[in-house]
Structure 1
Amino acid sequence: MRVDFDALFQSIDHLIELEKADDKAVGAPLTGLLSSLVDFDFVVIFAYRGEQRPIDLYSTFDPQQYHVYVSLYQDGPYLLDPFYRTACAQQQGVWRMRDLAPDRFFASEYYRNYYIQTGLAEEVGFFIPMEEGVTVVVSLMRTEVRGAFRPPELAMLRKTEAVVARIIRKFWGSLSPRFDAAQTKAARTGQGGAVAERAWANRNLTHREKSIIELVLQGHSSESIGLRLGVATGTIKVHRRNIYRKLGISSQAQLMSLYLGSLK
Structure 2
Amino acid sequence: MSTDLEALFRAFNSTIGRQAMGDAEFGEIFRQMMAALVSFDYVVVFAYRGKERPIDLYSTFDPKEHIIFVTLYQAGPYLLDPFYHTAHGRHAGVFRMRELAPDRFFSSEYYRTYYVQTGLAEEIGFFVTAADDITIVLSLMRKEKTGPFPPAEFALLKKAEPLIATMVRHYWAGLGTRFDAQLHSRARGTRNRNAGESALQPAEAVWRDLNLTSRETAIVDLVLQGHSSESIGLKLNISTGTVKVHRRNVYRKLGISSQTQLLSLYLKNLS
- Relative to the length of structure 2, the TM-score reads 0.96
- Provide, for residues 195-247 of structure 1, a one-character-per-residue CA deviation record: whole Å limited to 9, x for no partner: 22310112111000000010000000001001111111111111001000101
Picking from 248, 259, 263, the partner of 2:266 is 259
Structure 2: tracts of 5 or more residues without a match: 191-197
Structure 1: tracts of 5 or more residues without a match: none
What is the 5 A alignment of 1:9-158?
A: 9-158=9-158
- Provide, for residues 112-144 of structure 1, a one-character-per-residue CA deviation record: whole Å limited to 9, x for no partner: 111000000000000000011100000000001
What is the 5 A alignment of 1:155-174?
A: 155-174=155-174
Measured in 2, the distance between the counterparts of 1:73 and 1:21 equals 26
- Relative to the length of structure 1, the TM-score reads 0.98
- Provide, for residues 63-106 of structure 1, a one-character-per-residue CA deviation record: whole Å limited to 9, x for no partner: 01111100010000000000000001111010000000000000
8 Å CA contact retained: 2:76, 2:202: no
Measured in 2, the distance between the counterparts of 1:161 and 1:203 equals 43
Picking from 204, 210, 228, the partner of 2:217 is 210
Q: In the TM superposition, what is the alpha-carbon distance from 1:53 to its structure 2 partner? A: 0.7
- Whether 1:240 and 2:247 are equivalent positions in the alignment is yes
- Whether 1:226 and 2:233 are equivalent positions in the alignment is yes
Alpha-carbon RMSD = 1.0
How many residues align? The count is 264
Between the aligned residues of both structures, percent identity stands at 56
Measured in 2, the distance between the counterparts of 1:133 and 1:151 equals 31
Measured in 2, the distance between the counterparts of 1:254 and 1:42 equals 32
Provide the residue aligned with 1:186 in structure 2.
186
Measured in 2, the distance between the counterparts of 1:130 and 1:224 equals 30
Structure 2 counterpart SS, 1:189: helix
Q: In the TM superposition, what is the alpha-carbon distance from 1:17 to its structure 2 partner? A: 4.5
